[in-house]
Amino acid sequence: MDNVRRQILTAAIDKYGSACQMVKAIEELAELIQAIAKDVDPDNIAEEMADVRIMLDQLEIIFVNSEAVRRWELKKLKRLDTRVHAADTVR
């Protein structure tokens, strides 16, 4: 994440505390679940996705695990790529 983004999110963690922001992350995840499940307002879904992305970045700062997250993400993308192409060859 870029420096400005990290500065803003770190300031939020410093102001409200890690524990509070972890609870906030749970709340935002729940809001996105509800937005997707209701499936009525595309702009609401976009708003909740933005909230979750912001909270995921804060969690990376709190847990100091950006590298591990990127590593898992790459591993899972590769696995998904393999599965997608395997499905193509079955047909």
Which residues are at the interface with Mg ion (CB under 5 A)?
28, 31, 48, 51
Chain Cα centroid distance, residue 75: 16
Contacts 24+ apart (CB under 8 A), 71-76: none
Cβ nearer to Mg ion, comparing 51 with 60: 51
Rounded CA-CA distance 70/85 in Å is 22
State the nearest-atom distance from the C-beta of 10 to Mg ion, in Å. 20
State the nearest-atom distance from the C-beta of 54 to Mg ion, in Å. 9
Cβ nearer to Mg ion, comparing 33 with 74: 33
